[in-house]
A and B are shown apart, each in its own frame.
Chain A
Amino acid sequence: MGVSGKRAADVAVWVLLLTMPYWLNWVGGYTALGSRVLVLALAAMSLNFLLGFTGVLSFGHAAYFGLGVYGVGLTIKYLVPNTLIGMAVGVLVGGAAAVVIGALIVRLRGVYFAMVTIAFGQVFYFIAFRWNVVTGGDDGLSGWRRVPIDLGFTTIDILGNDKAFYYLAFICFAGAIAIMAALLRSPFGRTLLAIRENERRARFLGIPVEFHIWLSWVISCVFVSLAGTLYALLNNFADPHDLRWDQSGDFVIMAVLGGMRSFWGPLIGAAIFVVLQDYVSSETQNWMSFIGLFFVLVVLFFPRGVLGLMQRRTAA
């Protein structure tokens, strides 16, 4: 694909997303499903910033997603009934956790890194699970709802109007994606690619590898937290399973399924995943077996993902 082809693809993606609430009903979807795709795509693309473009395998991103979820839920329920302040708190909490944990683990590599990220993710799960009085424990945090955004001169009813919420999610998505795309085009992003391709060579060139990986980790986790806040607002609910390792696995499979070496890959992966989940869990009780089989089949027969496959086709 040439440069102009790439640009055309970018434009097509943005137009499709921007108009999604208006065509989704025709193809059998509904606006909340579109919001779900958008939010989980943001999470998967943020993960892929680290996974696909820095070459660092994190299997614990659900922790930061979940901190966003609980950050916004707890703030709206107990502190201030304000959606934007709640989101800010969620992102700050997730980001702060990422800063601290990132500093602890940044020297580890490969499987070791993956294992430690999995294990660290569980701390927050157990806190949410056990601290019944505040978090609602296993039942999740309910009894709160997203609050219409008051801009002073007008109020945006994101609670009653699904489309309004979709566009809130879209604005966040677009902002985060634009920042990540700009970062990847910048010298910083090129450095991350260099680390992915050959860490030792990058080190010999004088690049502070640990610092770059740490930065990439924090950026990735902050945007995953943002996705978490949107996810909680979408459901009007905080579920402890949003923090658990199976959720991390879902993000990774979305990135792999769509193609983790391509920028838009995880978006496609998330869309396929969400639509399948919506369909299968209404058809059968055995969602777990299905998703398990799905993981196995993707790994065995589809490891490059949808876009990886297409790129190879066009190259050949």
Chain B
Amino acid sequence: MAVAARGDRAAAMTQLVLFNLFNGLIIGAFYALMALGLSLILNLSGVINFAHGGFLAIGAYLAFAMMPYTGFWWALLLAPVLTAVIGLIVERVLIRRLYGRDPLYSLLLTFGLAFIFEDGLRYIWGPSTVPFATPDWLSASLSGQFFFLTGYRLFMVVLVVVAVVALFVILNRTRLGIRIRAGTLDLETVSVLGVNVRILRNLNFGLGAFLAGLAGVLAAGMLGLQPTIGSTLIMPSFVAIIIGGLGSLPGTLLGGLLIGAASGVVTVFFPSASEAVIYVMMGLVLLVRPRGLLGEEGRF
């Protein structure tokens, strides 16, 4: 009897750990998606975009506002596109003026923008959580034993994978992507070779905002939607970039998944440390490898 009970408990524990690990990986995928956008902008333009969480929240609320008219699928597609358009405009009107100046200024400007975005969303949609409905067939559980494998979670994993693969294809195969990568290495030379750097940076910022908007729609379906969703997700995204290594997009992806998994597992054993653990990880990584896991020596 006692042995069977212990066996049951062990099985339950395994399931609990698996559940939280899986959950953590999904959250990590958001972090990664958001951090990839941040990284793109940081690498090419040297701007720490504090307003990135604001773009994420804007994407989510746009989807929420559209959904009654367009349904979930069109909202999922259109909201990130609209977020990207807003990103293009913001870059064109505000951020472009600060290139080449002390990074302090772009940091302060986007910091202010983050406040304006969050407060604006609160003004329009109120401070409390709004009901963000996902399609019914996606909410059902797929497996009796692994109850946590709902269709929506699996769907999100698939979508994040698709988005990340698409991003890397764009960066490696298309003319725009190759120019972005070249620009992160040596913008001046790219400019001399006849590429319009202003447009390049603008599109790059839009691409980053698109990723934030996409992450926002997905996160809203899982975490619930409220104006602070952006400011709660942006700090872990910074940590993801630092752990992965500044300047390395695969590193950012890895960093996001790592901290997601770590905070998921820690939630099982020591719930109140689930946020702090990622900063401890960051400290350890900086101690051993100041450039981050996949960061290159001498870039930053």
Contact = CB atoms under 8 A, between A and B. Distances in A.
A249 B48 contact: no
Contacts of A131: 272
A104 interface: yes
Contacts of A249: 108, 111
A290 to B, nearest CB: 9
Contact of B235 (A118, A292, A300): A118
B48 A104 contact: no
Contact of A116 (B122, B123, B286): B286
Given A57-B104, A289-B119, A119 B46 contact: no
Interface residues of B, number: 43
Contacts of B114: 292
18 contacts: A57-B102, A109-B300, A111-B42, A115-B241, A123-B276, A126-B275, A130-B273, A246-B115, A256-B104, A288-B115, A288-B119, A288-B122, A295-B109, A296-B94, A299-B108, A299-B112, A300-B109, A303-B105
Interface of A: 51, 57, 59, 101, 104-105, 107-112, 114-116, 118-120, 122-123, 126-127, 129-131, 245-246, 249, 252-253, 256, 286, 288-289, 291-296, 298-300, 303
Interface stretch (B143-151, B203-211, B277-285): B277-285
Interface in B39-60: 42, 46, 48
Contacts of B261: none
B115 A300 contact: no
Nearest to A113: B300
B241 to A, nearest CB: 7
B107 A59 contact: yes
B252 to A, nearest CB: 12
Contacts of B235: 118-119, 122, 245
Given A119-B235, A292-B115, A300-B94, 4 more contacts: A122-B275, A288-B115, A289-B116, A295-B108
A114 B276 contact: no
A286 B108 contact: no
B104 A252 contact: yes
A286 B242 contact: no
